[in-house]
Amino acid sequence: MSSQKPLNVGLVGYGFMGRTHSNAYGKVNQFFDLDRRPVLKAVCGRNESNVKAFAERWGYQSTETDWRNLLSRSDIDLVDIATPNDSHAEIAIAAAKAGKMVMCEKPLGRNPTEATRMVAAIESAGTPNMVWYNYRRVPAVMLGKQIVDEGRLGKIFHYRAKFLQDWTISKDLPQGGAGLWRLDANVSGSGVTGDLLAHCIDTAMWLNGPIQSVTGVTETFVMERHHNLTGKVERVTIDDASAFLARFDNGALATFEATRYARGHKALYTLEINGENASIFWDLHDLHRLHYFDHRDEGRLRGWRSLHVTDGDHPYMKHWWVPGLQIGYEHTFIHQVADFLEGLRTGRPAAPTFRDALATDLVTDAVLRSATSGRWETVGRG
């Protein structure tokens, strides 16, 4: 019935991120005019009844309980990895070798070694690939990118980002297992550094270029927690908080911070860039607003402009409703799928690719090394 060429999707993982991805595949053709249409061929998960229920809810045509089965299915074009971090490398490398396109949740690997192997595999396969750093595709953030690319800021002096949450303050919160694997470093690789800071770093390098060197510090405020899988109180292996100073290649000085101990903040991802001529500021809690200051405005009438990024000439917004009416978190994933499909059409791959995401892993690695060494560490180049 549809006029678009299908793109057959096999999703691995059906947790929180499985929902955001499934929603994106289902909505993208209703709001964007594209020549491809994602078709939800299969979803894979280890618990058969759960995965079947998920498939029914989201309209997947089949289910699998072993992701390896997806690789041999000729009706799967794209393998989408929405599993915990410890399986990203294995699945992605195998999928690449099987000639599949691969989309992978962030961070790419648990460490640069894994991520480097993933980049090698996908580039060797030559198949389209992308990593779900979704915040690039908030309309207000994308408008910030346009402002930067148009050179409106002038020479950049400062970059400032933080991602503050407060959901792990209670000592009674356990670690491990479904929903809580992010607190177990064996699974996640690291704590807020690879989880929240990775988002900040991805956006930062996209907006302001490579980070040269960092000095960082991490902290674990709650040292022991009940572990859901072992059933015992175990040492917490992740970092609860992480902060670092950085220098970018372009000379800008930066501060970064992420924590899950910032009482009162649920998901306060903020970023600010100060340039010679203009500055921008954004805040995930009020995601439709970009704050823009332009020093070239007439002096008496100069001030931070609160841009409500909902107009037809704002990024992505002509696809949605009318000025003043907002979209939300889930739409960033829809935009990402739209851009990925458009990249397939034009042959200009949408970012961030695996290679782009490796660069982020190299920064988080330098931060963690610095937190141990107490010195500035140079960021590796992939």
> Could you say whether residue 302 binds a copy of itself (CB under 8 A)?
yes
Give the containing element (helix H, strand E) for 340.
Answer: helix 331-346
- Count how many Cα atoms sit within 13 Å of the Cα of residue 153 in the half-sphere of its side chain: 23
Angstrom distances, CA of residue 182 to CA of 110, 168, 175, 193, 236 = 11, 11, 8, 11, 11
> Could you say whether residue 158 binds a copy of itself (CB under 8 A)?
yes
Q: Are 363 and 139 in contact (CB under 8 A)?
A: no
**Residue closest to 58 by CA, chosen among 33, 83, 25:** 25
Pairing of strands 211-219, 241-248: antiparallel
**For a copy of itself, the closer CB: 31 or 69:** 31
Cβ neighbours of 155 (radius 10 Å)? 10
Q: Which amino acid is at 61?
A: Q
Least separation in angstroms between residue 234's CB and a copy of itself is 22
**For a copy of itself, the closer CB: 75 or 330:** 330
Task: Find tokens 């198949």 and name the residue.
Answer: 127
Strands (E), 146-219: 156-164, 211-219
Least separation in angstroms between residue 28's CB and a copy of itself is 11
Q: Which of residues 271-290 bind a copy of itself (CB under 8 A)?
A: 274-279, 284-289
Alpha-carbon distance of 105 to 194, in angstroms, equals 12
**Prior bond to 107 cis, omega within 30?**
yes
**For a copy of itself, the closer CB: 206 or 256:** 256
**Residue closest to 193 by CA, chosen among 382, 352, 369:** 369
Alpha-carbon distance of 347 to 342, in angstroms, equals 8
> Could you say whether residue 143 binds a copy of itself (CB under 8 A)?
yes
Q: Which of residues 70-129 bind a copy of itself (CB under 8 A)?
A: none
> Could you say whether residue 160 binds a copy of itself (CB under 8 A)?
yes
Among 81-89, 100-108, 223-231, 369-377, the segment contacting a copy of itself (CB under 8 A): 369-377
Among 63-71, 116-124, 241-249, 349-357, the segment contacting a copy of itself (CB under 8 A): 241-249
Q: Which of residues 8-67 bind a copy of itself (CB under 8 A)?
A: 16, 20, 22-23, 26-27, 29-30, 56-58
Least separation in angstroms between residue 340's CB and a copy of itself is 20
Q: Pick from 321, 345, 372, 378: which binds a copy of itself (CB under 8 A)?
A: 321
The rounded radius of gyration (Å) of the Cα atoms in the chain is: 21
Q: Which of residues 171-200 bind a copy of itself (CB under 8 A)?
A: none
**For a copy of itself, the closer CB: 139 or 189:** 139
Least separation in angstroms between residue 219's CB and a copy of itself is 5
Q: Which of residues 209-238 bind a copy of itself (CB under 8 A)?
A: 215-217, 219, 221
Least separation in angstroms between residue 231's CB and a copy of itself is 26
Q: Which of residues 327-356 bind a copy of itself (CB under 8 A)?
A: 327-331
